[in-house]
Structure 1
Amino acid sequence: MDYVIEMLGIRKEFSGFVANDNITLQLKRGEIHALLGENGAGKSTLMNVLFGLYEPDGGEIRVNGKTEAIHSPNKANDLGIGMVHQHFMLVDKFTVAENIILGKEPSKFGVIEKKQALAEIQAISDRYGLKVDPNARISDISIGMQQRVEILKTLYRGADILIFDEPTAVLTPQEIKELISIMRTLIKEGKSIILITHKLKEIMDVCDRVTVIRRGKGMGTVNVPETNPQELANLMVGREVVFTTEKTPANPGKDVLEVKDLVVKEARGVESVRGLNLTVRAGEIVGIAGVDGNGQSELIQAISGLTKTTSGSILLKGENIENKKPRRITESGLGHIPEDRHKHGLVLEMSLGENIALQTYYKKPISSKGFLNHKEMYSFARKLIEEYDVRTSSEYVAAKALSGGNQQKAIIAREISRDPDFLIAAQPTRGLDVGAIEFIHRRLIEQRDEGKAVLLMSFELDEIMNVSDRIAVIYEGKIVAIVKPEETTEQELGLLMAGSGKAETGEKSHV
């Protein structure tokens, strides 16, 4: 068999915790091979071993049939292995070209050959249909385009084997389609790809084979045409997974959030929210559907106090909260699961216990007379870790050591445990596996059934349709329609999100 990569019986431990336990993965030449598993199952660890970021404690790695010791990413690059990381490793202030050539600068007599580098980068970009401007500054381009820069960086270094770590977790639906097209082009050009993903639909659409790992152990490799999403989900989680969230009809009560004629400007001074009106009632989940960049992020930041409003009003339980400090707003009854868990949700260097206490550290019993009670803080953290199934070896480990899904569970535990009257859930399942998604959807519906008001913002239309009681469609900074999920389709929502379709529905009638 023509394998370009063979990882045989790989074992990796961290302070006694076994992240990879005798895992085998074999990549054929010219295939897209999915690596599937729950958050924290050991997928990224396995690929970091292949890329030379970690050294294995056991097992063997063969590249094109030859046993290799991959002690560093430079060694991996020399062997033709490139990795596109989930969290991009780019310098914001540098241009695309400067990021790509960093560490591999073409030079002559000690002078960097910029023209040569630009020509090479443009040629690679054109060949694979990446459409990247080499002169653009990283801080000025979209997340999807930044990912293409990471792909270009690996190709510039001569990679024939590409590892994609959760590549669609931060992309819009359109960017996902474009990425899949790019991956297919790479395969046609003779490359081989390992795709780490939680998204079963993507595996069924684009992959040839899939290796499943569960809690650090290999569950086997199957041919994608011979399986289905339900089988893969059950194999990954170890139980029957329910894809549709069961819920009774909503029984909405009083208005909890009232947004009236809201205007918010983005960093460049351009209006991103333009006279927006929205109401969320107790005992309902309102989903915000829209293409990324239509003002939904700025709307949520304005409600939570992370950005200033220009005009209009935001009422939480009848109290004006616009332009108030975030702590004042949270104490008024708001819980916030932020869109970016690293930027606004966690302090990655701090322990998990400290992160869980971030919203309540100054209150009893965690704090008394200005002093932290560490025993109470970590005791409270242990309780939530167990209740919300946060997979961690200890409440004392740094938040950065957890997988993305377990980081998200910790944030959700912290916010819901405060018993807020109004909960914002922005991209709550981004980058999560089906088991974690099922868990979080159930928690959101529990909040609704307890009489809380929930505002859900997601780019996943199936999530919006599955969880929401009403759907508010946002386009160019305004709510252009409010529909019920049972009375619309994803196709109709797509048209509304693109600015065509029904006119705005009156908020006063709570349609």
Structure 2
Amino acid sequence: MPETMFAPGEPPFLKLSGIGKVFPGVIANEDVSIDFRRGEIHALLGENGAGKSTLMNVVTGLYQPDSGEMILDGYGVEFAGPPAAIAAGIGMVHQHFKLVPRFTVAENLALGWNETPGWVAPGAIEAKARALSERFGLAIRADARIDSLSAGEQQRVEILRVLSRGAKMLILDEPTAVLSPVEVASLFDALRRFRDGGGAVVIITHKLDEVMAVADRCSVLRAGRLVGTHRITDVTPALLVGEMIGRPVDLPASYPRARPAPGPDAPAAMVLEAVSVRDEAGVTRLDAVSLVLRAGEVLGIAGVTGNGQPELAGVMTGLVAPFSGRVLLGGAPAPGADPGAFAAAGVGHVPEDRLRSALAPSLGVAENAVLREYRVKPVGGRLAYNAGAARRFAEALAVAANVRLASPTAPIRGLSGGNQQRLVLAREGRIATSVLVASYPARGLDIGAIAAMRERLAAARDGGVAVVLVSEDLDEILALSDRIAVLTAGRLMGVMERAEARRDVIGRLMSGRAADAEIAA
């Protein structure tokens, strides 16, 4: 961190003093005091539900504080809403992007420009978008539609939209949750450029390795209170974990089995026979993949994001019908695209995009908790829906998932992303009596929740469930898997036993190159 950026006596850009925010039944923030300075990247750490996003929603005017004050450039301020915060130079990029999918990049950026006239030629706004891109070092395709972009490209558009409105302080909520390693590196380069130009950056995150790599200072929240603020050079990941969780947390390198791993002759919970999938444009996304899922094992699917993993998970859970080949479920041919039939056969699914594929954002926690069991007593049956039973079910599920609820009727979108993920995993684990497909289940989770998630997957394995773990985190794959399959460009590059797996071999397969070592099919 450039020490010269902090001139003697220079006030912080934004100072929070004794901020408190209370919701019915939950203290979200209590007496939080932090200062954010120009020329620094400040990481905000804490468990799911620790109050990080709530605090930043107070800063950006989405919520009004119940106590305390905010001091901007030495003057007390109150923001009646996000427009007031933006006018003061504070902008936030939320975890779930707020772009118009059918608009182009340039059109989405133009929505944030006050000077945009009622009608303007597409070429003019595209030229301005490209100028913004060059100014801030964030590469974009000005004429591309948002729904054709990767998550990393969409995030760049969100950041440019905030910066185009004159932001001096940029807040990012879980900015790397859905990014590839290459996209993460590109994002960090852009944030450093903004910082070095005198901007203030706040990152809400759980990823300690990224905090150590990019942040200058960090503040830790636990149960809504500030535990400490540190220079990154003065702390270790272990110290930060202890402050976040309140106890040491270790992620084991392996999870011992309660019984021996199933062999090649073990019962197959699901079989894929030369399954191929094509998208609406006729492009092959999954190419003749054959796999056997054995009851009582974890099959890890390794690969860089975007190499056929969504299509593979879709085929395994009935969301996607194979273009060719077939799926056998319990020894019988499975229906093509019928997720209800797969769920009834004991297949649970934790998708990579929980808000789009696992939850109904406009509904409450209780309705989302019973999505898989609303037809079953005591919640349902005989065309009746018992709202009281649904609330009790949601409360019990929240306890099992270690999620604090203000109310089971609260909107599900009001929970942190990590708490949403915990509830989805607990809900899907209940119905997964045969197969549990977990796609990037650690996304958005703090280290304590990751440890609990891994233990839950290991417990499902020991209970005889065939667990499919899709991840690009090799440490996670190696810690949990009995066998490891590598997927590249929709093709199965190889399947190996965990005892035979080597990082260099997996890395070569992930990059599309043949392995030097022999790989068992």
TM range (shorter): over 0.9
Does the C-alpha gap of structure 1 residues 194 and 293 become closer, same or farther in structure 2, counting only changes over 3 Å? same
> How far does the alpha carbon of each residue in 1:28-63 deviate from its partner, in whole angstroms, 9 at most, with x for none?
220100000111111111111111111111111112
Matched, 1:271 2:284: yes
> How far does the alpha carbon of each residue in 1:350-372 deviate from its partner, in whole angstroms, 9 at most, with x for none?
22222221112112332232212
**For 1:381 and 1:107, how far apart are their aligned partners in 2?**
46
**For 1:503 and 1:306, how far apart are their aligned partners in 2?**
36
Corresponding residue number in structure 1 for 2:143? 135
User: Is 1:51–1:73's contact at 8 Å kept on the other side of the alignment?
Assistant: yes
Does the C-alpha gap of structure 1 residues 113 and 63 become closer, same or farther in structure 2, counting only changes over 3 Å? farther
Query: How many aligned residue pairs are there?
Result: 507
Q: How does 1:351-370 map to 2 (within 5 A)?
A: 351-370=364-383
Corresponding residue number in structure 2 for 1:214? 222
Q: CA deviation at 1:460?
A: 2.2
Q: CA deviation at 1:222?
A: 1.1
Amino acid corresponding to residue 167 of structure 1 in structure 2: P
Corresponding residue number in structure 2 for 1:232? 240
> How far does the alpha carbon of each residue in 1:205-246 deviate from its partner, in whole angstroms, 9 at most, with x for none?
111111000111111101111111111111101111112254
> How far does the alpha carbon of each residue in 1:138-194 deviate from its partner, in whole angstroms, 9 at most, with x for none?
111111100000111111111121101110011112211211121112222222100
User: Is 1:106–1:112's contact at 8 Å kept on the other side of the alignment?
Assistant: no
Q: How does 1:64-463 map to 2 (within 5 A)?
A: 64-107=73-116, 111-112=119-120, 117-244=125-252, 246-249=254-257, 251-252=261-262, 253-463=266-476
Does the C-alpha gap of structure 1 residues 183 and 495 become closer, same or farther in structure 2, counting only changes over 3 Å? farther
User: Is 2:95–2:174's contact at 8 Å kept on the other side of the alignment?
Assistant: yes
**For 1:163 and 1:307, how far apart are their aligned partners in 2?**
37
Q: How does 1:484-503 map to 2 (within 5 A)?
A: 484-502=497-515
SS of 1:182's equivalent in the other structure is helix
Q: CA deviation at 1:91?
A: 0.4
SS of 1:307's equivalent in the other structure is coil
> How far does the alpha carbon of each residue in 1:86-130 deviate from its partner, in whole angstroms, 9 at most, with x for none?
11110011111111121425356x654765543332222113321
User: Is 1:480–1:504's contact at 8 Å kept on the other side of the alignment?
Assistant: no
TM-score by length of 1: 0.94
User: Is 1:106–1:113's contact at 8 Å kept on the other side of the alignment?
Assistant: no
User: Is 1:273–1:478's contact at 8 Å kept on the other side of the alignment?
Assistant: yes
Amino acid corresponding to residue 372 of structure 1 in structure 2: Y
Gaps of 5+ in 1: none
Does the C-alpha gap of structure 1 residues 76 and 324 become closer, same or farther in structure 2, counting only changes over 3 Å? closer
> How far does the alpha carbon of each residue in 1:10-35 deviate from its partner, in whole angstroms, 9 at most, with x for none?
11122352211111111122010000
Q: CA deviation at 1:343?
A: 1.3
User: Is 1:121–1:156's contact at 8 Å kept on the other side of the alignment?
Assistant: no
Match of 2:72 among 48, 63, 77: 63
Matched, 1:43 2:52: yes
**For 1:384 and 1:119, how far apart are their aligned partners in 2?**
51
**For 1:19 and 1:170, how far apart are their aligned partners in 2?**
26
User: Is 2:297–2:465's contact at 8 Å kept on the other side of the alignment?
Assistant: yes
Does the C-alpha gap of structure 1 residues 478 and 113 become closer, same or farther in structure 2, counting only changes over 3 Å? closer
Amino-acid identity (%): 41
The worse-fitting range, judged by mean Cα deviation, of 28-37 and 455-464 is: 455-464
Amino acid corresponding to residue 206 of structure 2 in structure 1: H
**For 1:148 and 1:421, how far apart are their aligned partners in 2?**
40
> How far does the alpha carbon of each residue in 1:434-458 deviate from its partner, in whole angstroms, 9 at most, with x for none?
1111100000000111121100111
Q: CA deviation at 1:480?
A: 0.3
User: Is 2:254–2:478's contact at 8 Å kept on the other side of the alignment?
Assistant: no
Q: CA deviation at 1:257?
A: 1.6
**For 1:206 and 1:307, how far apart are their aligned partners in 2?**
39
Does the C-alpha gap of structure 1 residues 491 and 193 become closer, same or farther in structure 2, counting only changes over 3 Å? farther
Report the RMSD for the aligned CA atoms in angstroms.
2.0
Match of 1:33 among 42, 47, 59: 42
Amino acid corresponding to residue 463 of structure 1 in structure 2: E
SS of 1:99's equivalent in the other structure is helix
User: Is 2:25–2:406's contact at 8 Å kept on the other side of the alignment?
Assistant: no
**For 2:201 and 2:177, how far apart are their aligned partners in 1?**
17
SS of 2:368's equivalent in the other structure is helix
User: Is 2:320–2:337's contact at 8 Å kept on the other side of the alignment?
Assistant: no
SS of 1:313's equivalent in the other structure is strand
Match of 2:61 among 46, 52, 59: 52
**For 1:490 and 1:178, how far apart are their aligned partners in 2?**
24
User: Is 1:287–1:456's contact at 8 Å kept on the other side of the alignment?
Assistant: yes
**For 1:486 and 1:175, how far apart are their aligned partners in 2?**
32
TM-score by length of 2: 0.93
Does the C-alpha gap of structure 1 residues 55 and 380 become closer, same or farther in structure 2, counting only changes over 3 Å? closer
Amino acid corresponding to residue 8 of structure 1 in structure 2: S
Does the C-alpha gap of structure 1 residues 497 and 467 become closer, same or farther in structure 2, counting only changes over 3 Å? same
**For 1:411 and 1:504, how far apart are their aligned partners in 2?**
38
The worse-fitting range, judged by mean Cα deviation, of 42-51 and 395-404 is: 395-404
The worse-fitting range, judged by mean Cα deviation, of 12-21 and 141-150 is: 12-21
Does the C-alpha gap of structure 1 residues 177 and 322 become closer, same or farther in structure 2, counting only changes over 3 Å? farther
Amino acid corresponding to residue 163 of structure 1 in structure 2: I
Gaps of 5+ in 2: 1-8
SS of 1:400's equivalent in the other structure is helix
Amino acid corresponding to residue 173 of structure 1 in structure 2: P
Corresponding residue number in structure 1 for 2:31? 22
Amino acid corresponding to residue 347 of structure 1 in structure 2: A
> How far does the alpha carbon of each residue in 1:426-481 deviate from its partner, in whole angstroms, 9 at most, with x for none?
11111111111110000000011112110011122222222222110001111102
SS of 2:425's equivalent in the other structure is helix
Q: CA deviation at 1:6?
A: 0.8
Amino acid corresponding to residue 75 of structure 2 in structure 1: K
